[in-house]
Amino acid sequence: MRVLWAPWRMIYIKKASEAAECVFCKASASDDEERDLVVRRTQYSVAVLNAYPYNTAHTMVAPRRHVARPELLHDREVVDLFNLVKEIIRAIDEEYRPDGYNIGANIGRVAGAGIESHLHVHIVPRWLGDTSFMPVLAETKVIPEDLRTTLTRLRSRLGSAGSVEKTAEGPRVADRSPEHL
């Protein structure tokens, strides 16, 4: 049996149980995208960098509506969510050129969900050799880039297409809102 050790996650686990505010809801409504690590918002979804990443550019994509499970999403939310997943993957491919990805959602605490009340999809880029001796010998994960730098790099690849403009009527998707949503 292989064991995945992630001792750096303990900081997150301790903070998650104390968190009074949902990070995805906060990011969806945020006026400070830098502080909340918002990579992109669309009409129905939000992409944020993981503040406790497994790897550089570890991004989470969540519906803007606070739901815990995928079957609670409307079809338009599912389409928007996975269109944003695709967009983030393209941006990471262009900027970082990873060798592969781990992509998935953990539903429920027993499945590994740190934030179980708000569905989110993890996008974790992977490179050959990205598990160095540090986690094995020193119980330390080396993330070679500051989160603000990662945020700037990914946003530069995304441009403005698909960003949400705030209007008096609420958020509106610029440029790419699918006709059927």
- Whether residue 142 contacts residue 134, with contact meaning beta carbons closer than 8 Å, is answered with yes
Query: Higher pLDDT residue, 139 or 75?
Result: 75
Q: Which residue blocks in the chain are alpha helix, DSSP H?
A: 10-18, 23-29, 75-96, 133-138, 147-158
12-26, 77-91, 111-125, 160-174: least confident range: 160-174
Per-residue pLDDT tens over the stretch 31-69: 999 999 999 999 999 999 998 888 899 999 999 999 999
Q: Measure the CA angle with vertex 177, ends 90 and 43; round to 5°.
A: 85
Per-residue pLDDT tens over the stretch 117-164: 899 999 999 988 776 444 444 455 667 788 888 899 999 999 854 455
Per-residue pLDDT tens over the stretch 87-126: 999 999 999 999 999 999 999 888 887 888 899 999 999 9
101: closest CA among 79, 122, 83? Answer: 122
CB atoms near residue 46 (< 10 Å): 28
Convert 78-119 into a string of H (helix), E (strand) and C (coil). HHHHHHHHHHHHHHHHHHHCCCEEEEECCCCHHHCCCCCCCC
Is pLDDT at 1 greater than 70 in this prediction?
no
Reported confidence tier of residue 21, pLDDT bands at 50, 70, 90:
confident
Beta bridge partners of 165: 172
Query: Higher pLDDT residue, 175 or 81?
Result: 81
Residue 120 appears among annotated catalytic residues: yes
Spell out the domains of the chain, with CATH numbers in brackets: 7-173 (3.30.428.10)
Residue from 66, 74, 118, 120 carrying the catalytic annotation: 120
Full-model pTM:
0.71
